[in-house]
Structure 1
Amino acid sequence: MLLEPSRAVTPPDSPRIRSQHGIKAVRSKSRTWNGVTVYALDIEVLPGRAWIDLTSEQGSLSIILETVGGRVETRQKLDMPNPAHHQTLRPISLIPKGMTLWGHAEDSRRVREARLDFDFAPLESVLGEELDRRKFETPLLTFRDDRIWRIGELLAAQCKTPDSLSQLYGDSLTTALFIDLLRMGKRPPNERKQGGLAPWQLRKAKDYLQVHLSEGVRLRELAQLTGLSQSQFGRAFKVSTGMTPFRWQTQARIARARELLLDGRLSLAEVSLATGFSEQSHFTRVFQRVVGTSPGAWRRAQRW
């Protein structure tokens, strides 16, 4: 017998939940890239048995990022356990449009989840081709893909600590994730490797990134400049440069920051703003990750 739904504090930007039980609170942050709305969910669970109706009106992906205590699983029937979930680390579930599925928790205290809702029309524009939507009509209740899991974790982090200049990053991540979903189960060993950008395409893309160094750049802007779809551009850019557009832009920002630090006329806060970082603390973290030391320490070292 199903338990009656309990009331939980659910923010307005959470995915629509038809019914739930045993949920104390749901905290949520969301952002949308390329027709993919990403929800970073932090769910507090009451002791005992809890469940949430995962029915999706668009089609979605549930990525369990962390579970504190007990266990969680995705079920087709609420009273029918899913043994595979107990044996799978970092479980991911593909939820078809309109299909009733359940998120079930037993003695868990907290669950962190990335929930991705798909809008196929923008995604087809991004990928430059019509999608075979039948692939998303069959549920995959439990599977493991470390790359998809990691992308989900990065997208959830972008929802929680948004950066005004991270649009290109989110565009790239959602495109990569969806391509991986489409490739699942059909990765031919002799797949032809896509070539890089033509010299004029690469020059245009780099020039555009340099001109807009302190601004947010969309992946679709770069793709339009080169006459490619977003997925084609992203792959070709990486073949040509060895890095994603977002990483290339980050490296260019740090190179510009070094020039300004050497010049010495701007404070660290002014350098961070001039190179497109919304906060000095974010600038410091990225600079240290790329260069290996803090901006202040790096500038002091250049004076000797």
Structure 2
Amino acid sequence: MSADHGRALHENVVRIERRVHSWNGVTVIDVEEHTRGEVLHSLVNDEETGVAMALEEVGGVTEPRLKPDQACTLDHRPNHMTLVPKGMPLWGHATRDLHYSRYALLLFDLDALETRFEEDFDARMFARPRLRFTDDRIHALVRMLINIPDQDPSMTLLGDSLTSAVFALLSNENEQLPAGTKLSRHALCLVESYIRDQLPRRIELRELAELAQMSQWHFSRGFKASTGLSPYQWQLAKRLEMVEELLSRSDAPLDAIAMATGFRDATHLARTFKRRIGEAPAAWRRDRR
């Protein structure tokens, strides 16, 4: 399990494809690797701590190794994860019959994340390697992260919220996390007003959490407990209200409306509008005129 980071490909690696995202100071790399024959990667990383998650394995399996010639003694499980502390030697092994694998790499600076996530982040949980562990909640969150469209600033709040949740779960030894506590009326009004006033500017979760004087993870859970929606969903609802107003009060083309409301392009706006509102923007505009 490794991206090649610019090095020459292993002789049994046919092709590697990767997509790189970054949210909240975390680099997320979605890797697809096509192989023929046994592969052994060195996973030494002197700069960052990393988490690797197996997403798909076709034909064979992958495994983490503490020594290149010593097989992992832990049983293989689908979607297994490995945590690699900064500077620790580790190897990723793919069996001879594996011909395709997909995995996600989360790379991060431990000190920077501890400052950013505050009490939601326990650095002690990242000081030792953890091999072939699984967590369905983290798997679901990482799947959502890698499915966020490339270069879409309107998804910043979503990416920030998901990475915050991933590291809260990785930092927590307990199976259950405490339920979210509702925000105070003052904090909720302050945050909602801020989101409205900043539309359609890209907003980071850090900004909203600071307004509420809370950590990111506790703020996200508290906001949803208060409104029934995540910060990203609430912001999206307000952006769609802007779209409805522009559709009903102007003859502006959809690409201009998309630009004015923070969507990537007219296609992205039309797809999101239909999914959330139930009909295409053109039909919605026509029916209300």
- Counterpart amino acid of residue 291 in structure 1: I
Please list, as runs of the form range in 1=range in 2, the aligned pairs for 1:202-217 lying within 5 A after superposition.
202-217=188-203
2: CA distance, partners of 1:55 / 1:10: 11
1:104-148 alpha-carbon deviations (Å, 9 max, x no partner): 112222222110012122322332238542322232211221221
Q: Does 1:44 align with 2:9?
A: no
Q: CA RMSD in A?
A: 2.5
Q: Does 1:164 align with 2:153?
A: yes
Please list, as runs of the form range in 1=range in 2, the aligned pairs for 1:133-212 lying within 5 A after superposition.
133-158=123-148, 161-183=150-172, 185-187=173-175, 193-212=179-198
Identity %: 35
Q: Which residue of 1 aligns with 2:244?
A: 258
1:221-242 alpha-carbon deviations (Å, 9 max, x no partner): 1122222222232222111111
Q: Does 1:63 align with 2:53?
A: yes
Q: Which residue of 2 aligns with 1:119?
A: 109
Match of 1:277 among 240, 244, 263: 263
Match of 2:79 among 87, 90, 93: 90
Distance 1:131 1:278, change over 3 A: closer
- Counterpart amino acid of residue 220 in structure 2: G
TM-score using structure 2 length: 0.88
Distance 1:108 1:130, change over 3 A: closer
- Cα deviation, residue 96, structure 1: 2.2
Please list, as runs of the form range in 1=range in 2, the aligned pairs for 1:218-257 lying within 5 A after superposition.
218-257=204-243
- Cα deviation, residue 42, structure 1: 2.2
2: CA distance, partners of 1:200 / 1:167: 25
- Cα deviation, residue 218, structure 1: 0.8
Contact 1:10 1:25 in 2 (8 A): no
- Unpaired stretches in structure 1, ≥5 consecutive residues: 1-8
Contact 2:114 2:122 in 1 (8 A): no
Q: Which residue of 1 aligns with 2:254?
A: 268
1: CA distance, partners of 2:54 / 2:178: 33
Distance 1:299 1:279, change over 3 A: same
2: CA distance, partners of 1:83 / 1:285: 47
Q: Does 1:54 align with 2:43?
A: yes
Q: Which residue of 1 aligns with 2:284?
A: 298
Aligned pair count reads: 285
The DSSP-based 3-state class of the residue aligned with 1:141 is strand
The DSSP-based 3-state class of the residue aligned with 2:112 is helix
1: CA distance, partners of 2:164 / 2:183: 18
Distance 1:43 1:205, change over 3 A: same
Distance 1:192 1:93, change over 3 A: closer
Distance 1:256 1:244, change over 3 A: same
1:175-213 alpha-carbon deviations (Å, 9 max, x no partner): 010001112x3246xx75442111121111111111222
